[in-house]
């Protein structure tokens, strides 16, 4: 009567606080999610949450189902992992591809937590495949990929982990530092300091400057975040970075400004092969990544 997909939807509703957010987490359309909820409500002959409540509020029946979901789902995942791994202590590898240069540092706490929970799994983080990571995942060279640019594929499952904001970082006395936000045209003459990534793969170009018809004036590439931040502080140019990288600018006279009136928001997804024997372990690691990322968003 009640299926695991229903329980996972309830957890997504609680975590996101809205139908739109839950649909994003479950990687389905809002219409499909609404249909699934209506189906469940018909089966139990009760409503699950109060319509148009902000924040989303569960009914008594919905709360009871949510408690059931939070009790059962971890046990289901744990049992699946045990069954797939067998009863031996054989060591397995989980290869994770990352197409984000600035992610490695904040992923370390996640790696430590994962190692404690899965002592028989070696977690290997790599940026070797960069923007070919999804192809490497499909070919079996990787088990998990963190990406902001999912490519629909029936063989690959995507989990929406969280959204983050990209801001423009500049020296404190830069002419743009006094503004509440910057526009694409204001960046037309600014040198852009970036990680070693092609211009057409930069979020600030693809999702902010290019739609406005503004080309990148000059690109200055840096391999390391510390070096990049130093060059921004020395007024060599400006940089577009997520909040976790900006937080590393301790002791430097820098200012972060919004990109556009609404800010430039980007999603982070975790991808894995549906048929992989490591799929359940991948889900567990991605759950930890999502928790760590959300905690960082709250701190910012």
User: Residue 180 has what pLDDT?
Assistant: 95
pLDDT, tens digit, for every residue of 242-279?
A: 888 887 777 789 999 999 999 999 999 999 998 888 88
Q: Is the CB of residue 166 less than 8 Å from the CB of residue 246?
A: no
Distance (Å) of CA 126 to CA 80, 141, 148 = 27, 11, 16
E strand or H helix that includes residue 170: strand 156-171
pLDDT, tens digit, for every residue of 280-293?
A: 888 888 988 888 77
Q: Is the CB of residue 232 less than 8 Å from the CB of residue 239?
A: yes
User: Residue 272 has what pLDDT?
Assistant: 93
Minimal CA–CA distance to 15: which of 68, 59, 55? Answer: 55
Q: Is the CB of residue 158 less than 8 Å from the CB of residue 27?
A: yes
Q: How far apart are CA 270 and CA 276, in angstroms?
A: 14
pLDDT, average across residues 210-229: 92
52 pLDDT tier (thresholds 50, 70, 90): confident
82 pLDDT tier (thresholds 50, 70, 90): low
């Amino acid at each position: 009567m009640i299926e695991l997909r229903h329980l996972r939807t309830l957890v997504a509703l609680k975590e996101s606080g809205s139908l739109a957010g839950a649909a994003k987490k479950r990687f389905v359309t809002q219409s499909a999610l609404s249909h699934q909820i209506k189906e469940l409500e018909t089966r139990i002959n009760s409503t699950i949450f109060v319509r148009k409540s902000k924040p989303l509020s569960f009914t008594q029946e919905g709360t009871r189902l949510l408690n059931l979901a939070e009790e059962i789902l971890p046990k289901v995942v744990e049992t699946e992992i045990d069954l797939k791994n067998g009863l031996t202590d054989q060591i397995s590898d989980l290869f994770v591809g990352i197409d984000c240069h600035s992610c490695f540092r904040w992923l370390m706490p996640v790696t430590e937590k994962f190692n404690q929970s899965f002592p028989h799994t070696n977690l290997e983080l790599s940026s070797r495949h960069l923007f070919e990571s999804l192809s490497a995942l499909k070919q079996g060279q990787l088990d998990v990929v963190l990406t902001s640019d999912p490519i629909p594929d029936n063989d690959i499952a995507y989990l929406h982990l969280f959204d983050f904001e990209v801001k423009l970082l500049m020296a404190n006395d830069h002419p743009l530092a006094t503004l509440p936000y910057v526009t694409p045209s204001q960046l037309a003459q600014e040198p852009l300091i970036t990680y070693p990534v092609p211009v057409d793969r930069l979020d600030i170009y693809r999702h902010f400057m290019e739609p406005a018809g503004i080309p990148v004036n000059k690109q200055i590439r840096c391999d390391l975040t510390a070096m990049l931040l130093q060059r921004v502080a020395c007024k060599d140019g400006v940089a577009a970075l997520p909040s976790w990288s900006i937080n590393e600018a301790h002791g430097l006279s820098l200012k972060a400004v919004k990109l556009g009136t609404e800010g430039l928001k980007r999603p982070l997804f975790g991808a894995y092969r549906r048929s992989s024997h490591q799929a359940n372990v991948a889900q567990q690691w991605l759950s930890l990544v999502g928790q760590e990322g959300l905690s960082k968003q709250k701190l910012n």
